[in-house]
């Protein structure tokens, strides 16, 4: 494992915090009378959720082969991004690094915390130029590098991720929100090698549970302890915990849905290649395409007026719209509209 001192990267005031501990969640009881939390004794969902998400973490540990003490569960990956910044970045003093273009929420939460956001411009293939990366990290004092792979909104996987973990003298967060759609191997296998690595995954995409708002961080026990220290006591509700446990126990359904999305992705790729309105279809390892259109304004207007909602990325990415994969019926409707544009 790398020799980076994590404690030296943590904000000094965080080191002095005392965690909120739910007595009932940190002890075992047979038939307790629950008179400790000012709850209503009546109702089906009247009790606070398990603040430690014990059962969910045990299931995740079984599926991912990661110890429970190296897992933190958040109210979506968004909460975990926010918590990571709060743990490591001193307001008005520290900076984060993120790719450009990439997921906007890294910069959003950094800005809320009054941290500078340094953007690493991707090359024409939406990959990282290593020389540019090395220059940027040498010219700036950076605490966290958020690296999304496969990247949103470009769809491609970033090559040679280990190079960036090894060369960044701070916390490296690899956001694998779309990893299930990709042939790229997860970097979870690198956790034992790099003390400064945090891996984010979510149940919002391939698992089809966006409404549950459940994200997961995997890291060293030391980092996970700091994340749990600053999180809200009952940040993931009981319904969501139960829903995700059930999903993890029904892996066949997950695999079938994932296979269907990949089939639809390849069908759409073929259909897009025959459309005259498209300049370029960017390679994707995710459940969406980034597409360069010849007349983006007219295309976007036609799609919107037909109540087909897409994500316009221009002018940040010129002429481009991000379109995610739907059902066959939805995809056919999309293609029919584009054929007439």
Rg, Å, the chain Cα set? 22
pLDDT, residue 18, reads 86
Check whether residue 107 and residue 36 sit in a common domain: yes
Whether residue 285 is preceded by a cis peptide bond, meaning omega within 30 degrees of 0, is no
pLDDT of 36 reads 86
Please give the residue range of the domain that contains residue 332.
Answer: 252-339
| Residue 311: predicted pLDDT | 97
Q: Provide the terminal-to-terminal Cα distance of the chain, rounded to the nearest Å.
A: 55
pLDDT in the model for residue 341 = 80
Compute the distance between CA of residue 93 and CA of residue 249 in angstroms, rounded to an integer.
Answer: 44
> Cα–Cα distance between 308 and 324 in angstroms, integer?
11
pLDDT in tens, 51-64: 999 999 999 999 99
pLDDT averaged over every residue in the chain: 96
Residues 24-36: b if buried by 16+ CB within 10 A, e if exposed = beeeeeeeeeeee
Predicted TM-score of the model (pTM): 0.95
Q: How many domains does the chain have?
A: 2
Q: Are residues 220 and 284 in the same domain?
A: no
| Band of pLDDT at residue 2, cut at 50, 70 and 90 | low
Mark whether 243 and 261 lie in a shared domain. Answer: no
Beta pairing, strands 311-312 & 71-74: unpaired
Considering the domain architecture, whether residues 134 and 283 belong to the same structural domain is answered as no
Work out the number of other CB atoms within 10 angstroms of the CB of residue 241. Answer: 21
Identify whether 300 is part of a domain.
yes
* Band of residue 24 on the pLDDT scale cut at 50, 70, 90: confident
Give the pLDDT of residue 6: 95
Phi, psi torsion values for 301, nearest 5 degrees: -65, -45
Give the residue among 155, 215, 154, 150 at the shortest CA–CA distance from 184: 150
Q: Residue 195: phi, psi to the nearest 5?
A: -70, -20
Are residues 157 and 88 located together in one domain of the fold?
Answer: yes
Q: Would residue 95 count as lying in a domain?
A: yes
In a domain, 285, yes or no: yes
- Cα 48 to chain center, whole Å? 26
What CATH number does the domain containing 283 carry?
3.90.1150.10
Considering only 24-38, 206-220, 295-309, which range has the smallest mean pLDDT? 24-38
**Given 226, 249, 272, which residue is the final one in a domain?**
249
- Examine the domain organization and report whether 91 and 169 are in the same domain: yes
Q: Using pLDDT thresholds of 50, 70 and 90, give the confidence band for residue 128.
A: very high
Whether 49 is in a domain gets the answer yes
Structure letter (DSSP) for residue 61: H
Residues 6+ apart with CB under 8 A from 102: 122, 146, 148, 151, 152, 153, 154
What would the mean pLDDT of 285-309 be, rounded to a whole number? 97
| Mean pLDDT within 142-169 | 97
pLDDT for 26 equals: 80
- State the pLDDT at residue 83: 98
The verdict on 133 and 237 lying in the same domain is: yes
Residues 138 and 284 in one domain: no
* Model pLDDT, residue 25: 75
Residues 280 and 145 occupy one common structural domain = no
Q: What is the CATH number of the domain that holds 178?
A: 3.40.640.10
Q: Please say which residue of 249, 280, 315 terminates a domain.
A: 249
194 confidence band (pLDDT: 50, 70, 90): very high
Structural domain contains residue 1: no
- Reported as a single tens digit per residue, the pLDDT across 238-266 is 999 999 999 999 999 999 999 999 999 99
When mean pLDDT is compared across 20-29, 190-199, 249-258, the lowest value belongs to 20-29
Judgement on whether residues 327 and 184 belong to the same structural domain of the protein = no
**pLDDT score recorded for residue 65:** 97
pLDDT given at position 47: 94
Specify whether the CB–CB gap between 313 and 320 falls below 8 A.
yes
**How does residue 27 score in pLDDT terms, banded at 50, 70 and 90?**
confident
Cβ neighbour number for residue 135 with a 10 Å cutoff: 12
Specify whether 223 is located in the same domain as 329. no
Task: Work out the percent of the chain whose per-residue pLDDT is above 90.
Answer: 92
Q: Which pLDDT value is given to residue 3?
A: 73
121 occurs within a structural domain = yes
- How many whole angstroms separate alpha carbon 114 and alpha carbon 125? 31
Verify that 263 and 140 share a domain, yes or no.
Answer: no
Using omega within 30 degrees of 0 as the cis cutoff, is the peptide bond preceding 101 cis?
A: yes
Q: What is the pLDDT of residue 20?
A: 83
3-state helix, strand, coil in the chain (%, to 5): 40, 15, 45
End of a domain among 249, 274, 307? 249
| CB neighbours of residue 65 within 10 Å | 9
- Give the whole-angstrom CA distance, residue 160 versus residue 194: 15
Residue 48 is classified by DSSP as P
């Amino acid at each position: 494992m790398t020799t980076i001192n994590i404690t030296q990267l943590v904000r000094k005031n965080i080191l002095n915090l005392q965690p909120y501990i739910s007595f009932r969640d940190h002890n075992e009881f047979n038939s307790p009378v629950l008179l400790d939390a000012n709850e209503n004794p009546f109702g089906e969902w009247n009790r606070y959720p398990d603040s430690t998400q014990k059962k969910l973490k045990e299931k995740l540990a079984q599926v991912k082969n990661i110890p429970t003490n190296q897992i933190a569960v958040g109210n979506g990956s968004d909460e975990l991004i926010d918590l990571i910044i709060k743990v490591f970045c001193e307001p008005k003093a520290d900076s984060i690094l993120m790719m450009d273009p990439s997921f906007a929420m890294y910069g959003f939460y950094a800005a809320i915390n009054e941290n500078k956001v340094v953007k690493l411009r991707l090359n024409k293939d939406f990959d990282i130029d290593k020389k540019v990366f090395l220059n940027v990290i040498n010219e700036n004092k950076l605490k966290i590098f958020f690296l999304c792979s496969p990247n949103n909104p470009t769809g491609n996987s970033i090559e040679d991720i280990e190079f960036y973990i090894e060369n960044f003298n701070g916390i490296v967060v690899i956001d694998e929100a779309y990893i299930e759609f990709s042939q790229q191997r997860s970097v979870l296998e690198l956790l034992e090698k790099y003390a400064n690595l945090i891996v984010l995954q979510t149940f919002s995409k391939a698992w089809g549970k966006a409404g549950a708002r459940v994200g997961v961080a995997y890291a060293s026990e030391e980092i996970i302890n700091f994340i749990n220290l600053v999180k809200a006591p009952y940040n993931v509700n009981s319904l969501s915990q139960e829903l995700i446990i059930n999903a993890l126990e029904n892996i066949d359904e997950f695999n079938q849905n994932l296979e269907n999305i990949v089939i639809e992705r390849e069908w759409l790729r073929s259909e897009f290649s025959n459309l005259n309105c498209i300049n370029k279809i960017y390679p994707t390892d995710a459940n969406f395409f980034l597409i360069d259109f010849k007349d983006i304004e007219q295309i976007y207007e036609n799609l919107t007026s037909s109540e087909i909602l897409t994500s316009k990325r221009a002018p940040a990415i010129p002429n481009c719209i991000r379109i995610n994969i739907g059902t066959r019926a939805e995809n056919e409707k999309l293609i029919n509209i584009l054929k007439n544009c």
